[in-house]
């Protein structure tokens, strides 16, 4: 009998338009990710680089585990697609570490994004990018209202004695 979960571990990788996101391995967050990017082609890949789910324009085109599809994914996703239940907010999965602060608004030459900062060496280093790129920081705030700024992350790291 097939299992009613997909992938391995706590998270999967979601890809949209070449951008990679960490997606918590829960049916709620998988559905939230699919619905947030329903107008795009979406691929959800396991940490072992195995295709788990693929969608096109919000329609499922591939699900590796048919038991998961039938018993778990469709009962949660279809009511969202029909507008019968509210779509949960997609919140990128964060990796908890002794020296990593996640959900931080950051920027690079490519644009603004949501990411994580690692302070293990005693100074800030970008640890992971958890969203696509945005033109302004305000767009990141709108997309991720619970995010924090770099200065707030630095203050948290200072309070914890990491820097």
pLDDT tens column, 55-91:
999 899 999 999 999 999 999 999 999 999 999 999 9
Per-residue pLDDT tens over the stretch 120-129:
888 898 888 8
pLDDT at 102: 84
Residue ranges of the domains in the chain?
11-81, 100-159
Residue 3 to residues 57, 63, 65, 66, 72, Cα–Cα distance (Å): 27, 13, 8, 9, 10
More confident residue, 2 or 132: 132
Instruction: Answer whether residue 48 shows pLDDT above 60.
Output: yes
Q: Which residues, at least 6 apart from 57, have a Cβ–Cβ distance to it below 8 Å?
A: 38, 39, 40, 41
Give the model's pLDDT for residue 14: 92
Model confidence at 3, pLDDT cuts 50, 70, 90, reads very low
> Which pTM was predicted?
0.63
Span 109-134, average pLDDT: 88
Q: Residue 1's pLDDT is what?
A: 39
């Amino acid at each position: 009998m097939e299992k009613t979960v997909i992938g391995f571990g706590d998270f999967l990788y979601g890809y949209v338009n070449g951008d990679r996101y960490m997606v918590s391995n829960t049916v709620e967050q998988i559905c939230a990710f699919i619905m947030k990017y329903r107008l795009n082609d979406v691929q959800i890949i396991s940490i072992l680089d195995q295709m788990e789910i693929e969608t096109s324009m919000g329609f499922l085109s591939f699900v590796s585990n048919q038991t998961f599809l039938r018993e778990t994914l469709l009962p949660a996703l279809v009511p969202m697609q029909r507008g019968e239940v509210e779509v949960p907010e997609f919140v990128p999965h964060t990796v908890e570490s002794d020296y990593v602060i996640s959900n931080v608004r950051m920027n690079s030459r490519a644009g603004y994004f949501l990411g994580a900062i690692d302070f293990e060496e005693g100074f800030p280093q970008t640890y992971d990018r958890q969203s696509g790129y945005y033109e302004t920081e305000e767009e990141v705030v709108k997309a991720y209202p619970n995010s924090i700024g770099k200065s707030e992350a630095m203050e948290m790291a200072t309070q914890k004695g990491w820097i």
